[in-house]
């Protein structure tokens, strides 16, 4: 009987102790997208008590004596605090710090200037993300394996370029290769597993990994910081750095550790250039630069520099766009004009390239000197006129020709 009484007393004490604990939970969501926010920290009296899961939920269980001020914090959002747990709603809405970015940049200006800056900046982003446009291009690409240059591709043609901030990471360029020349190493390197990558002339397209996950497309995934202005040729540029705070999924792929900087021209609120780096799953790392120019009041890409690493294998590419005036838009492209050069088989034509010798201004000049060896450049190009790279470019031309015809029919309907 005595043991029974002690057991009952113990249970009552345990129930009393348990009943004194306070439990509360909530979901944290983004104010604009209404998406759940993962990784937000819940602080009670400045101590971390919980964090949100991938559905934005958290749960806190504490004794009343440990209760106090409750704050929900995330690097990409404004911190929210409550004086008491009873004031915590079932759904907590957090606002991004992106607009705070604008306020920091113009913190020393008048309120009207702040409002104007935010308005103009949004307008520029909208123009930057405008839909496809047609442009002539020049491509230079170098493949390197084990630090040794193996293949150089240079090509000219036309492209339908996706909008600079197109959110679809799998949305491709439509390009035609009108003229091309190749230097291929005479060293036998088929033994390398990654050799299958070397002929692909479209590695510049990996810049889309960044553009499709751009900080202004997916603000909630990034932390922003305003740095000191830089003066380039005597002109001031605002510098904004960014860093992703979680894994970003796009279609069936995912990207991590996206970081970089952008330079904004305060005279017209346009992005002038950006640098970035990221990890593409566990396949490769990508870094590069994107340069912009204003064309007919639209901020469009004029140059892309990309470096893609596949462990022991590396591809470097420089892609320049020559955008004519008036700028041809996607909906008005004539398939016959756009694909006119697709009717010939690509190879090395010395008569065409003879007026365009390799010079020290080429971004890969030093590697090209190594790649050609004791040969002259003309001889090196001639020796590589049957490279598999030409076959892939011819195949790409045929594919583009058919695709553009289909797109042309759709735009005419």
- For the chain, give the secondary structure using H, E and C: CHHHHHHHHHHHHHHHHHHCCEEEEEEEEECCCCCECCCCEEEECCEEEEECCCCCEEEEEECHHHCCCEEEECCCECCEEECCHHHCCCEEEECECHHHHHHHHCCCCCHHHHHHHHHHHHHHHHHHCCCCEEEEEEEEEEEEECCEEEEEEEEEEEEEECCCCCCCCCCCCEEEEEEEEEEECCCCCCCCHHHHHCCCCCHHHHHHHHHCCCCCCCHHHEEEEEEEEEEECCEEEEEEEEEECCCEEECCEEEEEEEEEEEEECCCCEEEEEEEEEEECCCEEEEEEEEEEEECCEEEEEEEEEEEEECCEEEEEEEEEECCCCCCEHHHCCHHHHCHHHHCCCCCCHHHHCCCCCCCCCCCHHHHHHHHCCCCHHHHHHHCCCCHHHHHHHHHHHHHHHHHHHHHHHHHC
33-54 pLDDT, tens digit each: 788 887 788 888 877 788 787 7
**Predicted pLDDT of residue 113:** 53
Look-up: residue for tokens 């679809």? 168
- The yes or no reply on domain 21-94 and CATH 2.102.10.10 is no
8 Å CB contact between 139 and 318: yes
Token readout for 174 is 């439509």
For 210, 211, 406, 412, the CA distances from 217, given in Å and listed in that order, are 10, 9, 29, 30
pLDDT of residue 177 exceeding 60, the answer is yes
For 20, 208, 384, the CA distances from 173, given in Å and listed in that order, are 63, 10, 26
Question: Who has greater pLDDT, 294 or 69?
Answer: 69
Q: How many CA atoms lie within 13 A of 139 on its CB side?
A: 31
Residue-averaged pLDDT of the chain: 80
Domain ranges of the chain: 21-94, 111-412
pLDDT of residue 225 exceeding 70, the answer is yes
Could you give phi then psi for residue 228, rounded to 5 degrees? -65, 145
178-224 pLDDT, tens digit each: 999 999 886 644 554 445 556 777 788 888 899 889 887 787 788 87
10-36 pLDDT, tens digit each: 444 343 444 467 888 899 998 877 888
Q: Could you give the CA distance from residue 129 to residue 169 in angstroms, rounded to a whole number?
A: 14
Beta bridge partners of 299: 294
Question: Who has greater pLDDT, 173 or 85?
Answer: 85
**Predicted pLDDT of residue 208:** 87
**Predicted pLDDT of residue 211:** 87
pTM assigned to the model: 0.69
8 Å CB contact between 274 and 191: no
Q: Could you give the CA distance from residue 91 to residue 12 in angstroms, rounded to a whole number?
A: 35
Whole-angstrom distance between the N-terminal and C-terminal Cα of the chain? 91
Token readout for 120 is 């103009």
């Amino acid at each position: 009987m005595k043991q029974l009484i002690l057991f009952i007393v113990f249970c009552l004490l345990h129930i009393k102790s348990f009943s004194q604990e306070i439990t509360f939970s909530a979901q944290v969501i983004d104010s604009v997208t209404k998406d759940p926010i993962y990784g937000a920290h819940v602080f009670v009296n400045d101590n971390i008590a919980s964090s949100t899961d991938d559905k934005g939920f958290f749960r806190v269980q504490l004794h009343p004596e440990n209760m106090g001020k409750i704050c929900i914090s995330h690097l990409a959002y404004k911190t929210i605090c409550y004086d008491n747990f009873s004031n915590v709603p079932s759904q907590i809405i957090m606002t991004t710090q992106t607009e705070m970015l604008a306020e920091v940049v113009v913190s020393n200006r008048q309120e009207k200037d702040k409002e104007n800056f935010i308005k103009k900046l949004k307008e520029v982003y909208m123009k930057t993300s405008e839909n496809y446009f047609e442009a002539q291009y020049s491509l230079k690409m170098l493949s390197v394996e084990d630090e040794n240059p193996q293949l150089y591709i240079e090509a000219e043609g036309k492209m339908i370029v996706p909008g600079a901030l197109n959110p679809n990471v799998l949305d491709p360029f439509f390009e035609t290769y009108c003229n091309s020349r190749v230097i291929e190493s005479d060293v036998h390197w088929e033994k390398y597993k990654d050799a299958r990558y070397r002929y692909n002339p479209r590695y510049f397209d990996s810049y889309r990994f960044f553009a499709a996950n751009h900080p202004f497309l997916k603000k909630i995934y990034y932390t922003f910081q305003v740095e000191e202005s830089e003066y380039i040729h005597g002109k001031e540029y605002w510098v904004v750095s960014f860093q992703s705070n979680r894994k970003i999924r796009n279609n069936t792929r995912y990207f991590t550790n996206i970081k970089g900087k952008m330079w904004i021209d305060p005279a017209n609120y346009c992005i002038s250039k950006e640098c970035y780096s990221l990890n593409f799953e566990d396949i490769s790392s990508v870094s590069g630069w994107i340069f912009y120019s204003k064309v007919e009041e639209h901020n469009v890409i004029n140059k892309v520099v990309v470096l893609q690493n596949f462990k022991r294998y590396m591809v470097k590419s420089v892609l320049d766009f020559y955008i004519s005036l008036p700028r041809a838009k996607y909906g008005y492209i004539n398939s016959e004009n756009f694909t006119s050069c697709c009717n010939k088989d690509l190879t090395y034509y010395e008569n065409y390239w003879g007026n365009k010798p390799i010079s020290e201004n080429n971004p890969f000049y030093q590697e090209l000197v190594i790649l050609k060896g004791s040969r002259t450049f003309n001889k090196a190009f001639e020796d590589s006129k049957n490279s598999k790279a030409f076959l892939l470019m011819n195949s790409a031309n045929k594919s583009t020709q058919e695709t553009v015809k289909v797109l042309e029919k759709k735009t005419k309907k």
